[in-house]
Amino acid sequence: MRSVTIVIPVYNEAQSIQENLKEILKYARETADISARILVVNDGSADNTAELVYELSVSEKEIDILSLNRNFGKEAAIKAGLDHASGDAVIVMDSDLQHPPRLLPQMIELWKQGADVVECSKTGCENKTFIQAVLRNFFFIVFELPTGLTIRDQSDFKLLDRKVVAEYCRLPEHTRFFRGLIRWMGYSSAQIYFDVPERSGGNSSWSLLRLARYAVSAIVSFTSFPLHIISGCGLLTFLLSMVFGSKALLDKLSGNAVDGFTTVILLILFIGSALMFSIGLIGIYIAQIYDEVKSRPPYIVSRKGTFTDTVSHENACTERKEDKMP
């Protein structure tokens, strides 16, 4: 019997995690001839998310949990889940039911028909502010134009064949952008479209600032196009300076020079701002290189297993301590 592992990164989802996992498990069991398991990756939750998952695993034997030492971020949690998943295929999805569990049987069926990757794309955006919508569209333009990879409206809700998982886990980079890398790998894929439902409970931990940092990291890890923009702006500034410099020289020679104190101040401020922006952009790339060359692991596991495994481990530790007592 073929098997599928569902990897679910979680962070502070105690409010609804048990009900949501039951809902996901219900649909995962609907596919005939497929053995499904759930691997919950606890990304350093500060609440009792891990305890609730352990508690549920007592009655739901298909649920395992992988706890990380601290909050390493969603990309690291996905990588940890893929590293430890054991199925013939792996599904990555969120725990808040905004990735509809009802699509699981359809995803598995498309995989059985030969698709290496099954991608779930959004037909409508979640409730976003005007600023979020503008920044979102700007990100897609900046990412897609230089890379040639289309990721608009895609999500992290994907099914990956075992060979895709193996190749993804072999990629050496530390900073990752999951949906971009899966596109870049170029495996045959099938598409499923869905409307994004409301969260089943709680609030998203993704603030506008965190989303902006995530977007910058994704762009920098995939393309050097912003650095070429700096070179282009430098060339354009040089050409404009030649034009205005020539005009100023001609005006001076003809005796028509105009007092340009305000213009000079504005030019200095403009050029200074452009230089600071350029240095900052270069600094982002250098910081990315610095993070890569440190070669630190993307995550550290604190515990893996079901509730039963944890109890057995704790009992064994207690027995060892008692054996050492005089």
More confident residue, 203 or 39: 39
Residue 12 Rama label (left phi>0; alpha psi -120 to 50; beta): left
User: In this structure, are 119 and 199 located in the same domain?
Assistant: yes
- CATH for 215: 3.90.550.10
User: In this structure, are 203 and 241 located in the same domain?
Assistant: no
User: In this structure, are 119 and 255 located in the same domain?
Assistant: no
Residue-level pLDDT at 201: 65
Q: pTM to 2 decimals? A: 0.81
**In this predicted model, what pLDDT tens digit does every residue of 131-175 receive, in sequence order?**
878 888 888 888 898 888 988 888 999 999 999 999 999 999 988
- Residue 100 in any domain: the answer is yes
**Tally of CB atoms within 10 A around 249:** 11
- Residue 65 in any domain: the answer is yes
- Residue 288 in any domain: the answer is yes
Residue-level pLDDT at 314: 39
**pLDDT band at 311, cuts 50/70/90?**
very low
**In this predicted model, what pLDDT tens digit does every residue of 94-112 receive, in sequence order?**
999 999 999 999 999 999 9
Distance set, CA 45 to CA 57, 64, 297 (Å) = 18, 16, 19
Say how far residue 69 (Cα) sits from the centre of its chain. 19
More confident residue, 70 or 135: 70
- Residue 105 in any domain: the answer is yes
User: In this structure, are 208 and 303 located in the same domain?
Assistant: yes
Residue-level pLDDT at 126: 59
Q: What span, in angstroms and rounded, lies between the C-alpha atoms of 94 and 57?
A: 18
More confident residue, 251 or 56: 56
User: In this structure, are 146 and 262 located in the same domain?
Assistant: no
- Residue 210 in any domain: the answer is yes
Give one DSSP letter per residue of 55-98, joined into a string.
Answer: HHHHH-TTEEEEEESS---HHHHHHHHHHH--SSEEEE--SSSS
User: In this structure, are 205 and 242 located in the same domain?
Assistant: no
Which range of 197-211, 244-258, 266-280 scores highest in mean pLDDT? It is: 266-280
- Residue 317 in any domain: the answer is no
With 80 as the cut, is the pLDDT of residue 124 above it? no
- Residue 324 in any domain: the answer is no
What is the pLDDT averaged over residues 86-98? 94
CA nearest to 122, candidates 167, 70, 96, 157: 157
**By percentage, how much of the chain surpasses pLDDT 70?**
88
Average pLDDT over the chain reads: 85
Q: What total of structural domains would you count in the chain?
A: 2
Range of the domain at 256: 225-294
Residue-level pLDDT at 260: 65
Residue-level pLDDT at 27: 93
Residue-level pLDDT at 230: 86
User: In this structure, are 242 and 146 located in the same domain?
Assistant: no
User: In this structure, are 129 and 201 located in the same domain?
Assistant: yes
Helix axes 208-222, 130-147, angle to 10 degrees: 10
User: In this structure, are 76 and 193 located in the same domain?
Assistant: yes
